[in-house]
Amino acid sequence: MKIAVITGGLSTERDVAISSGSRIADALRSKGHNVVLIDVFMGFDSRISVDKLFNDNADLIQNKGVAEFIPDLRQIKNSRADKSPCFLGKNVIEICRAADITFFALHGGEGENGQLQAAFDILGIKYTGSGYLGAALGMDKGITKALCEQHRILTPKGEVYKSREAAEGWDCFPCVIKPCSGGSSVGIAKANNRSEYDEAVMDAFSYEDEIVVEQFIEGREFSVGVLGDEVLPPIEIIPTTGFYDYKAKYQAGLTIEECPAKITEKEDEALRDAAYETFKVLDLKSYGRIDFILTEDGEAYCLEANTLPGMTPTSLLPQEAAAIGIDYPSLCEKIVELSLEKYK
């Protein structure tokens, strides 16, 4: 197959997306597919034919590592030659139209919130992962929380705030503060008191104009992947730094991850059942990942959904798939196959 892998973008998770996209492209090439890797925002300004790009397995991206800190998006925008505000770079649509399917190696922003999915639906371009509705629902932590509550899926009690003034009404500590539609733990903080809370709220609002504040649930952190109708083994996340922030997620050695997790059969069942139910409630398709806190008494609290899970060397979904014998290239190909099924 001819597969376009689009990555990069303009979210705070840009570096994570590029790391994922590069690895996905290499994996699909190893399976015999013709793959073009391109930055969805930067595009490709050349007269080379699209057919030649696929025949050459063109890699149109540089600087693929995940830095310790989030990228400077203003600098990224200014570096594009045409200075256009359009999210889609030059020749991106042409490359994706020529492909049998486009693999979304994107995280956050327009690539994960349903906007790009809706645009591709209108253009008749096939793509991996959930449709525009599931992407939009899963990206918004406030909506995810509301739907979980409606369907009696355990989730920490919380509130959605659209201003710092409104957020002053919160008075339960400890708590967790996070941007409503962010990912990779960017802007997330735990507050034990009012002073820490005020600082965390100000930081969260620097990323978005809507935040979620929720009660802190004491317990162990897990993530559970879903691949089609199959729920993968839960993976436990144990940060060595004390909090699972952006740096801990993407810098090797700062987090211990155990898969299969050392839990009882009952705990395993609770996590898998909650993950599958959340996946369906949010109308997710093909694949995804759901994050949980497991309390000492075995209750699984849903934290959030990941509609386009990270696929970097330190990402969780590939580790979960490997635990049941699915190697990385096979996982990428399986995602393509499952995604094509939604067009039948």
The predicted model gives 221-241 an average pLDDT of 94
What CATH number should be reported for the domain whose range is 219-341? 3.30.470.20
Nearest-angstrom CA–CA distance, 278 and 83: 40
What confidence tier does 65 reach under pLDDT thresholds 50, 70, 90?
A: low
Please, which pLDDT band fits residue 108 given cuts at 50, 70 and 90? confident
φ/ψ (deg, to 5) at 250: -120, 0
pLDDT, mean over the chain: 91
Domain-wise residue ranges, the chain? 2-127, 157-215, 219-341
Coil, helix or strand for 276? helix
The model's pLDDT over 202-226, given as tens digits with 9 standing for 90+, comes to 999 998 899 999 999 999 999 999 9
- How high is the pLDDT of residue 250? 47
Lowest mean pLDDT among 47-51, 90-94, 253-257, 309-313: 253-257
pLDDT score of 102: 98
Of residues 322 and 254, more confidence is placed in 322
Q: Which two tokens stand for residue 271?
A: 């996590």
Whole-number pLDDT of residue 252: 52
Tokens standing for residue 107: 């995280």
User: Is 60 exceeded by the pLDDT of residue 159?
Assistant: yes
Task: Tell me if 114 sits within 8 A of 133, measured CB to CB.
Answer: yes
Quote the tokens at residue 87.
């999210």
Tokens of 139: 């990206």
Compute the distance between CA of residue 95 and CA of residue 54 in angstroms, rounded to an integer: 9
157-215: CATH homologous superfamily?
ATP-grasp fold, A domain (3.30.1490.20)
* pLDDT score, position 246: 47
- Structure confidence at residue 109 (pLDDT): 83
Q: Which residue, 314, 312, 338, 334, is CA-closest to 324?
A: 334
Query: Mean pLDDT throughout 332-344?
Result: 96
Question: Greater confidence, 181 or 186?
Answer: 181
Q: How confident is the model at residue 253 (pLDDT cuts 50, 70, 90)?
A: low
CA angle 290, 344, 31 (to 5 degrees): 70
Closest alpha carbon to 153 in 317, 320, 305? 305
Tens of pLDDT, residue by residue over 78-101, are 888 888 889 999 999 999 999 999
Q: pLDDT at position 257, please?
A: 93
Q: Is the CATH code 3.50.50.100 the one for domain 2-127?
A: no
278-293: pLDDT as tens digits: 999 999 999 999 999 9
Q: Is the peptide bond before 174 cis (omega within 30 degrees of 0)?
A: yes
Confidence (pLDDT) at 64: 64
**Is residue 342 pLDDT above 50, yes or no?**
yes
Q: pLDDT of 12-58, one tens digit each?
A: 888 889 999 999 999 999 999 999 999 999 999 888 999 999 999 99
